[in-house]
């Protein structure tokens, strides 16, 4: 299946029957697919007038207790910033897919990982962080879409699925969960469903009392810390032994790095790969531990060095970090990365490399 369609079908299998969105390349197969499927399943598809509106439509949908998703690509996600902040403040569970393209501005429609910083730092005004998942294959896009709905519900928070144009456009075989339509959202104790036989409820991000808002912000922070403890996910590939070089990368570029790492290892080079799957919360401790037994780090991204800052934080200056990036829609090739791996290894003090 094509990545975008796989994400759409995975959402249905996770129990999401309501979708609001505005067209943008390279994610349009998601709304196209759902506009056909959701009405058949008794759900709804609404094409909004803008991503601003979309972000508030999902606020309304989640607020009445509905499992809901939207998808967009970089410029559209910027327009959703407002709604995302309200969703976070009002603690509403939604899934937002960002099939990233190259920026800034209108940029280009080709794949990029341009929004790492925006995605992992809350995305909008106010003081909060969100869960963000970065798939490296179509199968993982499916698995993480389903996980995104689970985490959104469990922690009452928006969850971002951060893919890119390659994940969205690529076709790969996938295994889907068996349930054709997953369960509805469990929101009995907070959703606005009409106040039959109970006190009226509010869904709001407004706290005019500074003490209350202070407490609310620290509550959200504590929840994010809990998410970091329970839900941080990463892949450490060929990282068991001490390493001469650790490659760090996320999403599709990590997938390409893996080919390069395989090639390097087949030449006998001691190279491993660390790939955060939750780019937020970032697997800081796990990376720090592996960097602790690596001589040098090479960070590879499809941008000018955004995750690099998290890698630097993990390294705490303990070893040199090189960066290799391609952006604007260019994709680093495995051959190009292999060259960088060799160049990084060449920097090691003598005796470091065989």
Partner 1 sequence: MMKPTTEILLAGFGGHGMLLSGRLLAQAAMEMGSQVSWLPAYGPEMRGGTANVAVCIARDQVGSPYVECPHILVAMNAPSFDKFAPKVKPDGLIVYNEGLVPNPKQRADCTALCVNAQEVAIAAGNIRAANLVMLGVLVGATELVSDDAVIAAIESEFAAKARFIPVNVAAYRAGVAHGKDGRCAQSA
Partner 2 sequence: MNKVFSYADALIRKPFHYCPGCTHGTIHRLIAEVIDELGIRERVVGISPVGCAVFILDYLRCDMFQASHGRAPAVATGAKRCRPDLVVFTYQGDGDLAAIGTSEIVHAANRGERITVFFVNNAVYGMTGGQMAPTSVPGQRTTTTPHGRNTETDGYPVNMSEMLAALHTPAYIARVSMHAPKEIIAARHVVKKAFEHQLAGRCFSFVEFLSTCPTNWGMTPVESLRWLEKEMLPYFPLGEIKVPPADDTGGRMP
Sites for partner 2 among residues 154-193 (CB under 8 A): 192-193
Q: CB-based contacts of 206: which residues, under 8 Å, 6+ apart?
A: none
Sites for partner 1 among residues 10-39 (CB under 8 A): 25-26
Q: How far is the CB of 18 from partner 1 (least distance, A)?
A: 28
Looking at the DSSP assignment, which residues form a beta bridge with residue 301? Answer: 325
Q: Which of 35, 205, 217, 347 binds partner 2 (CB under 8 A)?
A: 205
Euclidean distance between CA atoms 72 and 350, whole angstroms: 49
Q: CB-based contacts of 197: which residues, under 8 Å, 6+ apart?
A: none
Residue from 227, 230, 220, 231 nearest 92 by CA: 220
Q: CB-based contacts of 212: which residues, under 8 Å, 6+ apart?
A: none
User: Using the rule CB under 8 A, is 12 a contact of partner 2?
Assistant: no
Q: How far is the CB of 101 from partner 1 (least distance, A)?
A: 9
Euclidean distance between CA atoms 285 and 282, whole angstroms: 9
Question: If contact means CB under 5 to 8 A according to the sort of partner, which of partner 2, partner 1, none does residue 110 touch?
Answer: partner 1
Looking at beta carbons only, is 46 or 166 nearer to partner 2? 46
Looking at beta carbons only, is 81 or 254 nearer to partner 1? 254
User: Using the rule CB under 8 A, is 348 a contact of partner 1?
Assistant: no
Question: If contact means CB under 5 to 8 A according to the sort of partner, which of partner 2, partner 1, none does residue 195 touch?
Answer: partner 2
CA distance between the termini of the chain: 43
CA angle (36 as vertex; 30, 38 as ends), nearest 5: 85
Sites for partner 1 among residues 241-270 (CB under 8 A): 252, 255-256, 258-260, 262, 266
Euclidean distance between CA atoms 255 and 334, whole angstroms: 9
Q: How far is the CB of 217 from partner 2 (least distance, A)?
A: 17
Sequence length of the chain is 354
Binding segment (CB under 8 A) for partner 2, from list 99-107, 194-202, 291-299, 300-308: 194-202
Q: Which of 40, 173, 189, 195 binds partner 2 (CB under 8 A)?
A: 195
Question: If contact means CB under 5 to 8 A according to the sort of partner, which of partner 2, partner 1, none does residue 109 touch?
Answer: partner 1
The 83-102 site mask, x for binding partner 2 (CB under 8 A), equals x--x---x------------
Strands 234-237 and 271-276: antiparallel
User: Using the rule CB under 8 A, is 52 a contact of partner 2?
Assistant: yes
User: Using the rule CB under 8 A, is 333 a contact of partner 1?
Assistant: yes
Q: How far is the CB of 148 from partner 2 (least distance, A)?
A: 18
Q: DSSP assignment, residue 171?
A: B
User: Using the rule CB under 8 A, is 141 a contact of partner 1?
Assistant: no
Concatenated DSSP letters of 88-110: HHTT---EEEEEEEE-STT-EEE
Residue from 101, 163, 146 nearest 9 by CA: 146
Looking at beta carbons only, is 120 or 340 nearer to partner 1? 340
User: Using the rule CB under 8 A, is 53 a contact of partner 2?
Assistant: yes
> Alpha carbon of 290 to those of 6, 25, 258, 275, 351: distances in Å?
33, 37, 17, 12, 20
Cβ pair 192, 19 in contact under 8 A: no
Euclidean distance between CA atoms 167 and 134, whole angstroms: 10
User: Using the rule CB under 8 A, is 263 a contact of partner 2?
Assistant: no
Cβ pair 337, 260 in contact under 8 A: yes
Question: If contact means CB under 5 to 8 A according to the sort of partner, which of partner 2, partner 1, none does residue 193 touch?
Answer: partner 2
User: Using the rule CB under 8 A, is 194 a contact of partner 2?
Assistant: yes
User: What is the contact surface with partner 1 in residues (CB under 8 A)?
Assistant: 25-26, 108-110, 138, 165-166, 169-173, 252, 255-256, 258-260, 262, 266, 329, 331, 333-336
User: What is the contact surface with partner 2 in residues (CB under 8 A)?
Assistant: 18, 20, 44, 46, 48-50, 52-66, 68, 82-83, 86, 90, 192-197, 200-206
């Amino acid at each position: 299946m094509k990545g975008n369609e796989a994400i759409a079908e995975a959402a249905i299998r996770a129990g999401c029957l309501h979708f609001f969105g505005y067209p943008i390349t390279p994610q349009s197969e998601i709304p196209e697919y759902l506009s056909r499927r959701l009405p058949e399943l008794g759900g709804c598809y609404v094409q909004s007038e803008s991503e601003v509106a979309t972000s508030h439509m999902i606020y309304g949908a989640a607020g009445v207790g509905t499992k809901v998703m939207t998808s967009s690509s970089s410029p559209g996600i910027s327009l959703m910033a407002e709604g995302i902040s309200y969703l976070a403040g009002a603690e509403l569970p939604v899934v937002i897919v960002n099939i990233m393209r190259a920026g800034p501005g209108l940029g280009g429609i080709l794949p990029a990982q341009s929004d790492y910083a925006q995605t992992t730092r809350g995305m909008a005004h106010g003081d909060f962080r969100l869960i963000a998942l970065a798939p490296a294959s179509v199968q993982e896009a499916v698995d993480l879409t389903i996980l995104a709905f689970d985490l959104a519900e469990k922690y009452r928070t928006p969850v971002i699925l951060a893919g890119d144009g390659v994940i969205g456009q690529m076709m790969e075989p996938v295994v889907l969960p068996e349930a054709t339509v997953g369960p509805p959202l469990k929101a009995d104790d907070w959703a606005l469903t009409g106040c039959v036989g109970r006190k009226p409820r509010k869904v709001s991000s407004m706290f005019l009392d500074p003490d209350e808002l202070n407490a609310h912000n620290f509550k959200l922070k504590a929840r994010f810390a809990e998410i970091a403890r329970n839900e941080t996910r990463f892949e450490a590939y060929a990282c068991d032994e001490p390493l001469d070089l650790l490659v760090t990368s996320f999403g599709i570029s990590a997938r390409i790095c893996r080919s390069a790492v395989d090639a390097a290892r087949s030449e006998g080079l001691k190279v491993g790969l660390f790939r955060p799957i939750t780019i937020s919360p970032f697997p800081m401790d796990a990376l720090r531990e592996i960097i602790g037994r690596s001589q040098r780090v090479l960070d590879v991204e499809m941008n000018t060095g955004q995750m690099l800052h998290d890698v630097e934080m993990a390294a705490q200056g303990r070893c040199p970090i090189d960066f290799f990036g391609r952006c604007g829609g260019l994709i680093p090739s495995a051959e190009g990365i292999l060259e960088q791996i060799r160049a990084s290894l060449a920097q090691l003090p003598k005796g470091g490399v065989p």
